[in-house]
């Protein structure tokens, strides 16, 4: 028969042959009669080997043949499915002429041998597959038992403790260990199960088994650890370990999460079926570890969010799309008079209904909430006064979204703004009182200074002092008027008389009043759309104050000889647009966003010799917002500024 490992025909069985001839007999393809039949794949014979000059043997084979081999040979190849498996040899110890009938008979015998060989191999293959199937079936049962341990808990230590015990029992190992690796590949934690007393040594060192498996990302099977003294931890050998199987635990992002090791005190062959089962288990273990990691991270975030949830001074309520409360913190319960722990699952409408007696405008609040739940994407905010406690609560509602971005409900934030409103009211009252008290004497001072300026004796240096005092009095009166207007706008007490108002006419009137100042500074001013007949619903006096403020700022903050342009027209939809652009000093980066804040002046305002209080643009914003409009600025330092306001057009 042909031995693939030796690449030669090896004697299998024969009759009446001396043992010294058959022991260790191996013929290379082409060597001797049998080698030629194997190589040529057809019957080959010789009457007398001693007289056949075509036969070739190796020196070692030649010595055996010369000693006691037969004289005449007939060799027929045994061929199955185009593969030559061996050679059937008929031999005589004396010279012999082989007849065609003998050749045919030998060929028939070879065919029968081929059929028998096929049947034997088929039977052996069937038995092998049956054994593998049984081994696989038994292994799958044991593997499923071990795998179930992975899903009993999401706590890593508890999960691995049970899983390693089940795994060791399933595969007959004396012990099992899991090394959990840190981001840098070092062993972060190590957990194990050992059947006998004591523990195997830690192989997680650099250069050891775990480090090798981490780098190669492939299983490592050591059938005899004594042959790897530099690779295996000495404590393992001392503990009686003879075989070790190590498998990488690779996560979804190709990071090696850990190393699974099985220890055996008896030598192991590690058949392919068992290796495949353990590789499959390693994959399941990777999934379980990642799930456990996500669970731990979720729990950590949950605890952290719960701490934030309860430590904030604001009340927070999470409401589902169907109106049920999904979560609420203690502060929300204190504000709305409910138990935060017991309100989960209760409809928000029922909570508000219980607070009906505390809400003077309950119907409006209920309608607002119903509208928000119907269309949570729009959000909203407002304030309610709680009659029960006398507190004022500011509420904001924002849509709650899931990981996919879909809206799943509302997040209500409740802030107790009672103290802020009281402080604001006190400030408003104080400013109103002070400005009222200043307004009358300032008017008297201005009137007396005007009389003094008309006196003939007031000339030269004295007249200059009176003029300066008169200008200062006018600035103070302007400041007092601005403060009064702001106070009234903030408190909602400023009465506004809305009527169709022409932006074009207001702009012309303001420019007529500012004409002397424009000529004094030598500015070039143009107006585009001066004939626009668009009207907006506004209080003419307040809107004139806005245009005056923006225009005078452009004049003051543009160096002499500058260019100023005003444009009037319609924006998209039923909206009027008014724009003023100057070539002035511009506004530094970061200042534009704060430009309309109270008392704010840009950092570069001091470069122009003009006085300001930081109230003018704040007043502009308050007025425009009261008129349901918008105002904003576009600017770069050193390149001028553009102020734009838009207002709804009169219907």
Say if residue 613's pLDDT is above 60: yes
Instruction: Tell the CATH superfamily of the 146-297 domain.
Output: GAF domain (3.30.450.40)
Residue with the larger pLDDT of the pair 231 and 627:
627
Pair of tokens at residue 561: 């000889």
Say if residue 620's pLDDT is above 70: yes
Q: What is the pLDDT of residues 242-255, one digit of tens each?
A: 999 999 999 888 88
Please compute the mean of the pLDDT values over residues 209-228 and round it to a whole number: 90
Q: What is the pLDDT of residues 68-124, one digit of tens each?
A: 788 888 999 988 878 888 888 888 889 999 999 998 998 888 888 888 888 877 877
Length of the chain: 651
Q: Which of 57-71, 217-231, 261-275, 563-577 has the lowest mean pLDDT?
A: 57-71
Q: From the centroid of its chain, how far is CA 111? A: 69
Please compute the mean of the pLDDT values over residues 526-551 and round it to a whole number: 89
Q: According to the model, what pLDDT value does residue 507 have? A: 92
Q: According to the model, what pLDDT value does residue 182 have? A: 86
Query: Pick from 361, 234, 149: which is nearest to 369 by CA?
Result: 361
Q: According to the model, what pLDDT value does residue 248 have? A: 94
Residue with the larger pLDDT of the pair 359 and 557:
557
Question: Hey, which residues does 643 pair with through a beta bridge?
Answer: 580, 633
Q: According to the model, what pLDDT value does residue 43 have? A: 93
Q: According to the model, what pLDDT value does residue 554 have? A: 92
Q: What is the pLDDT of residues 185-195, one digit of tens each?
A: 888 888 888 86
Question: Hey, which residues does 647 pair with through a beta bridge?
Answer: 576
Q: How confident is the model at residue 1 (pLDDT cuts 50, 70, 90)?
A: confident
Q: Which of 30-34, 364-368, 432-436 has the lowest mean pLDDT?
A: 432-436
Cα–Cα distance between 393 and 396 in angstroms, integer?
10
Say if residue 64's pLDDT is above 90: no
Segment of 67-71, 440-444, 573-577, 607-611 carrying the highest mean pLDDT: 573-577
Q: What is the pLDDT of residues 308-353, one digit of tens each?
A: 777 888 889 888 888 888 888 888 888 888 888 888 888 887 877 7
Percentage of the residues of the chain whose pLDDT score is greater than 70: 82
User: 0.75 cut: is pTM over it?
Assistant: no
Say if residue 167's pLDDT is above 70: yes
Report the half-sphere exposure of 299 (CA within 13 A, side-chain side).
Answer: 9
CA dihedral 123, 128, 134, 135 (to 10 degrees): 170
Q: According to the model, what pLDDT value does residue 357 have? A: 60
Say if residue 411's pLDDT is above 80: yes
Q: What is the pLDDT of residues 462-504, one digit of tens each?
A: 777 777 777 677 667 666 776 767 777 776 677 788 999 999 9
Q: Which of 207-211, 445-449, 534-538 has the lowest mean pLDDT?
A: 445-449
Question: Hey, which residues does 187 pair with through a beta bridge?
Answer: 181
Q: According to the model, what pLDDT value does residue 604 have? A: 56
CA dihedral 215, 221, 223, 229 (to 10 degrees): 10
Q: How confident is the model at residue 135 (pLDDT cuts 50, 70, 90)?
A: low
CATH fold match for the domains 146-297 and 312-416? yes
Looking at the domain that runs over 2-98, which CATH code has it been given?
A: 3.30.450.40
Instruction: Tell the CATH superfamily of the 312-416 domain.
Output: PAS domain (3.30.450.20)
Q: What is the pLDDT of residues 510-535, one digit of tens each?
A: 999 999 999 999 999 999 987 777 88
Please compute the mean of the pLDDT values over residues 274-293 and round it to a whole number: 85
Please compute the mean of the pLDDT values over residues 130-140 and round it to a whole number: 61
Domains of the chain by residue range: 2-98, 146-297, 312-416, 421-491, 499-648
Query: Pick from 169, 261, 240, 156: which is nearest to 198 by CA?
Result: 240
Percentage of the residues of the chain whose pLDDT score is greater than 90: 18
Residue with the larger pLDDT of the pair 504 and 393:
504
On whether the CB atoms of residues 259 and 179 are closer than 8 A, the answer is yes
Q: What is the pLDDT of residues 36-46, one digit of tens each?
A: 888 888 999 98
Cα–Cα distance between 7 and 104 in angstroms, integer?
28
Residue with the larger pLDDT of the pair 631 and 387:
631
Q: What is the mean pLDDT of the chain?
A: 81
Q: How confident is the model at residue 458 (pLDDT cuts 50, 70, 90)?
A: low
Please compute the mean of the pLDDT values over residues 451-465 and round it to a whole number: 71
Query: Pick from 238, 237, 277, 242: which is nearest to 260 by CA?
Result: 277
Q: According to the model, what pLDDT value does residue 136 have? A: 59
Question: Hey, which residues does 575 pair with through a beta bridge?
Answer: 648
May I ask the CATH architecture of the domain 499-648? 2-Layer Sandwich (3.30)
Q: What is the pLDDT of residues 44-56, one digit of tens each?
A: 998 988 888 888 8
Q: According to the model, what pLDDT value does residue 576 have? A: 92
């Amino acid at each position: 028969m042909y031995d693939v490992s030796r690449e030669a025909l090896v004697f299998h069985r024969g009759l009446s042959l001396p043992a010294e001839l058959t022991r260790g007999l191996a013929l290379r393809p082409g060597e001797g009669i049998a080698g030629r039949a194997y190589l040529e794949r057809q019957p080959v014979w010789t009457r007398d080997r001693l007289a056949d000059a075509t036969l070739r043997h190796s020196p070692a084979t030649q010595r055996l043949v010369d000693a006691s081999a037969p004289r005449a040979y007939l060799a027929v190849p045994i061929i199955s499915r185009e593969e030559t498996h061996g050679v059937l040899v008929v031999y005589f110890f004396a010279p012999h002429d082989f007849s065609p009938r003998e050749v045919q008979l030998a060929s028939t015998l070879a065919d029968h041998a081929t059929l028998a060989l096929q049947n034997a191999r088929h039977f052996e293959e069937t038995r092998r597959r049956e054994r593998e199937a049984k081994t696989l079936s038994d292994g799958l049962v044991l593997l499923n038992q071990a795998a179930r341990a992975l899903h009993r808990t999401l706590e890593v230590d508890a999960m691995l403790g049970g899983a390693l015990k089940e795994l060791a029992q399933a595969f007959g190992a004396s012990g099992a260990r899991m090394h959990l690796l840190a981001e840098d590949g070092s062993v972060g934690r190590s957990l194990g199960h050992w059947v006998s007393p004591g523990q195997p040594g830690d192989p997680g060192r650099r250069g050891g088994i775990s480090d090798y498996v981490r780098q190669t990302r492939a299983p490592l099977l050591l059938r005899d650890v004594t042959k790897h003294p530099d690779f295996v931890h000495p404590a393992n050998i001392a503990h009686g370990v003879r075989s070790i199987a190590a498998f990488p635990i690779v996560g979804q992002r190709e990071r090696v999460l850990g190393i699974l090791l099985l220890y055996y005190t008896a030598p192991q062959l590690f058949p392919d079926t068992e290796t495949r089962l353990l590789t499959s288990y390693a994959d399941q273990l990777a999934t379980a570890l990642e799930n456990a990691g996500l669970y731990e991270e979720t729990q950590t975030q949950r605890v952290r969010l719960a701490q934030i949830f309860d430590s904030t001074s604001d009340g927070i309520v999470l409401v589902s799309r169907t109106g049920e409360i999904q979560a609420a913190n203690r502060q929300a319960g204190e504000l709305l008079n409910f138990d935060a722990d017991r309100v989960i699952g209760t409809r928000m409408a029922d909570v508000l209904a219980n607070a009906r007696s505390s809400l003077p405008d309950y119907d409006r609040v209920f309608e607002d909430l119903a509208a928000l739940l119907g269309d949570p994407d729009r959000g909203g905010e407002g304030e309610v006064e709680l009659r029960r406690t006398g507190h004022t609560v500011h509420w904001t509602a924002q849509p709650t979204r899931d990981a996919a971005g879909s809206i799943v409900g509302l997040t209500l934030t409740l802030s107790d703004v009672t103290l802020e409103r009281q402080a604001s009211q006190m400030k408003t009252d104080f400013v109103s009182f002070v400005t009222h008290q200043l307004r009358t004497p300032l008017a008297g001072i201005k009137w007396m200074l005007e009389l003094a300026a008309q006196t003939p004796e007031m000339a030269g240096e004295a007249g200059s002092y009176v003029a300066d005092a008169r200008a200062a009095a006018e600035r103070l009166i302007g400041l007092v008027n601005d403060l009064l207007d702001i106070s009234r706008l903030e408190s909602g007490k400023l009465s506004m008389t809305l009527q169709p108002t022409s932006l074009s006419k207001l702009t012309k009137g303001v420019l007529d009043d500012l004409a002397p100042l424009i000529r004094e500074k030598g500015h070039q001013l143009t107006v585009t759309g001066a004939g626009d007949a668009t009207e907006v619903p506004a209080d003419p006096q307040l809107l004139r104050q806005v245009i005056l403020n923006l225009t005078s700022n452009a004049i003051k903050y543009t160096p002499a000889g500058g260019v100023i342009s005003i444009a009037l027209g319609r924006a998209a939809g039923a909206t009027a647009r008014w724009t003023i652009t100057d070539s002035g000093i511009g506004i530094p980066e970061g200042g534009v966003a704060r430009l309309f804040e109270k008392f704010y002046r840009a950092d570069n305002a001091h470069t122009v010799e003009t006085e300001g209080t930081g109230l003018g643009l704040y007043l502009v914003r308050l007025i425009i917002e009261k008129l349901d409009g918008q105002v904003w600025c576009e600017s770069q330092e050193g390149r001028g500024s553009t102020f734009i306001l838009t207002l709804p057009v009169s219907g």
